[in-house]
Amino acid sequence: AQTVTQSQPEMSVQEAETVTLSCTYDTSESDYYLFWYKQPPSRQMILVIRQEAYKQQNATENRFSVNFQKAAKSFSLKISDSQLGDAAMYFCAYGTSGTYKYIFGTGTRLKVLA
């Protein structure tokens, strides 16, 4: 069965600094998708970034980028120039083509210190 593991329950970062959130997953599939979602204290979950497994190039969205290591089954999120508004729960998620079922990790709470 596919699993997603986020081993850091909580992380802290100083404003303007860079932080990396870790995510590992287990799968025997070759075609899948990986996502990072952000859930601010207001609880509306929003997509931060996504990565197709077949793409070797790491996805980037403004200050957010991923380090996708397919062989190691690792998918970390790097947040550059951290802002107070980045404080939230971050969830890593996995989806397999054609199953329409997404598996989420347990989340990492990110605190941004002023």
Of the two residues 57 and 114, which places its CB atom closer to other proteins in the complex?
A: 57
CA atoms within 13 A on the CB side of 112: 19
Of residues 36 through 95, those in contact with other proteins by CB under 8 A are: 37, 42-47, 50, 52, 91, 93, 95
**Exposed, middle or buried, 95 (CB in 10 Å: 0-12/13-18/19+)?**
middle
Of the two residues 19 and 59, which places its CB atom closer to other proteins in the complex?
A: 59
Binding residues vs other proteins (CB under 8 A)? 6, 33, 37, 42-47, 50, 52, 91, 93, 95, 97-107
